[in-house]
Structure 1
């Protein structure tokens, strides 16, 4: 492909991607509104409505829009995976590969395409304070927010964009094929506004700097940034380190930050003898859970966050 065609090709690719984001959000909105209508018709909640502001005064059930704060949240999953894929495509095209090469490599889960796979993995990644990668993640997140926030819900309120996955980044990953970022088929997607697992190579401050470049004013339903640290690296000044990281994140404009301070060998022991580690709490994605009560795939994803580095 001649060099003069590459910018135009990427332009067309981004245009098609934006169209797909708009199309998928519309489908999600339609499905959500159908479920909301069914809930209101089949399962009204008078007791809950008594506990929610304005429902009693209006005489309107919460399922039909009686609440003062009447919005529906939709969560984005895999934002960094998309951003990383776009910058990886750009790098691969500049290295002489065609889009057909990249697509076929993904279809084959990179089997037989090891050289291309290595190139894709080594491309810039969100979470390393690298503008080349961060700009694409920021752009895709803004598209998503714009599309979600324009819609109205069944109850007459607004849809509100959010970016925290609970554990759906693991579940959705099962059904997502290999990506141009170098992520293999079936692997978890990135959680919230955190980097893809193992792709943060420049340390904690770089992760915070990348997250600070995102636009949070259009994320009314919230976003989660999870930072994973090994307890070995904190030492005696651990409290002061965490305090400084939280303060820096807030000053830079990050909406939310949370920490896992764990050791891989401890988590492995908890998997082997869960009855001895029922006390072990971990942050998953905007919420905490007892590690031994998580499904095995989610446990593995938590472990990979503190052990997987390129």
Structure 2
């Protein structure tokens, strides 16, 4: 995937020229905030020169180019942790107790008590994740040397140590949090309907979820349409994103790796939000069982109703500088790009988000109708490329669940 690094020093005409390429609908390029990336690298202890030479690679991951070995060590299903909390340590999919017994949620007196239980489960599963990671990193360090890469990355030769074994000047291992929009909306629904409005008791909420909302159509309507959602600059909802983000950061950040570096967090899914969703039953935001989760830090598909500016204002509330990358996807209809004024507006949208320390933003320029037609007549659309997560792919090569998830992402007609 091609990327454009935008700093406050880039002229607007450069950003606009990049937006004109976006207009073609090939999902390229993605836009990165250089100023935020430098801050991220400095906060991780890099020298100013190494930080300024850095950037993003892969999907959205931050690294000091030429001097750092930075690994993605797997995706973390934040919403599964919530489901296990709602079931007192049991995974309802298998009936097995795989988490902590944090208490029967029916007995929790307040949202704060409920969230404390969630945070305990989160820390428990992060501990397991890191324990497994250390085994994998040891195997890599001992059995999988990469001599060519070690020649190219600074300090491996000086340290006489392989890139995979901690020879680079800097070493970072990232754990990627998945489904921020979904976990935010789930917690918002629990706070509002169970603890504040009292419109449903926890016992009945759990029954509605276990029955996949069968017989609860009216209540599900309320969960979807009458509950504040992430992506609309609504503080009632957005505070839960900040809570989960901070809990995740605290659980992971600074933990030692086998290679002598530290663990840090990213917020990106690649395509795991579809798979993770397939392992989770119905959830309190109104999502039915086994449907995809939200992707990156984007809102739940269709939940943002205040336009692209509402989305970037919500997304700026988490501290992107604490991460090694966040991923934000937006979808625009091709008709939006019909005027020069629209391109200028998109430039300003990117500038505004980056001024708020947003890390990354990318755009799909394709109508939902086109994508639906491509599902029905794939032979006519063999050249159709769409933005998936941090990368683009041929629409025909994606699985049906992923195709449907992309179709459901909110399509903006205007700014």
TM-score calculated relative to the size of structure 2: 0.69
Residue 315 of structure 2 is matched in structure 1 by 211
What corresponds to 2:204 in structure 1?
101
Q: Distance in 1 between matches of 2:383 and 2:155?
A: 40
1:184-235 residue CA offsets vs partner (Å, 9 max, x unmatched): 111111111110111111111111111111111211x200111111223343
CA 1:61–1:299: 2 relative to 1, 3 Å = same
Partner of 2:95: none
The structure whose RCO (Cα within 8 Å, separation 6+) is larger is: 2
CA 1:114–1:265 in 2, change beyond 3 Å: closer, same or farther? closer
- Of residues 242, 247, 267, the one that matches 1:138 is 242
Would you say the 8 A contact 1:127–1:206 is kept in 2?
yes
CA change 1:7–1:132 in 2 (3 A) is: farther
Q: Which whole-Å deviations, capped at 9, do the CAs of 1:88-139 have from their partners, x for residues lacking one?
A: 1122121331111111111111112222212221210000110000000111
Aligned equivalent of 1:34: 135
How far does residue 276 in structure 1 lie from its aligned partner after superposition? 4.1
Choose 36-45 or 206-215, whichever is displaced more.
36-45
Match of 1:251?
355
- Measured on the aligned residues, the alpha-carbon RMSD in Å equals 2.0
- After superposition, residues 176-195 of structure 1 pair within 5 angstroms as 176-195=280-299
If each structure's helix is expressed as a fraction of its own residues, which one has the higher value? 1
- The one of 260, 264, 270 equivalent to 2:368 is 264
Q: Which residue of 2 aligns with 1:154?
A: 258
Match of 1:117 in 2: 220
Deviation, 1:295, is 2.0
| Alignment TM-score, normalising by the size of structure 1 | 0.92
Q: In the alignment, what sits opposite 1:10? A: 111
Give the aligned partner of residue 78 of structure 1.
Answer: 179
8 Å CA contact 2:333, 2:367 repeated in 1: yes
Alpha-carbon separation, structure 1, partners of 2:355 and 2:141: 42
5 Å-filtered alignment, 1:37-52, equals: 37-52=138-153
Single out whichever of 249-258 and 288-297 deviates more from structure 2. Answer: 288-297
Q: Could you list the runs of 5+ residues in structure 1 that have no partner in the other structure?
A: none
Matched, 1:232 2:335: yes
Q: Determine helix, strand or coil for the equivalent of 1:111.
A: coil
Q: Distance in 2 between matches of 1:59 and 1:291?
A: 45
Greater than 6 Å deviation, 4+ residue runs: none
Tell me if 1:57 matches 2:161. Answer: no
2:326 aligned residue (214, 219, 223): 223
Q: Secondary structure at the match of 1:257?
A: strand
Change (3 A) 1:30 1:9: same
- C-alpha displacement of 1:50: 1.7
> In structure 2, which of residues 252, 265, 272 is the aligned counterpart of residue 168 of structure 1?
272
- Report what 2:191 is aligned to: 90
Question: 1:8 offset after TM fit, Å?
Answer: 4.3
8 Å CA contact 1:92–1:119 kept in 2: the answer is no
Distance, in Å, in 2 between the alignment partners of 1:215 and 1:116 is 34
| Structure having the larger proportion of residues in strand | 2
Distance in 2 between residues matched to 1:77 and 1:6, nearest whole Å: 28
Q: Greater CA deviation, 201-210 or 234-243?
A: 234-243
Give, in whole Å, the separation in 2 of the partners of 1:7 and 1:42: 48
Q: CA deviation at 1:59?
A: 0.9
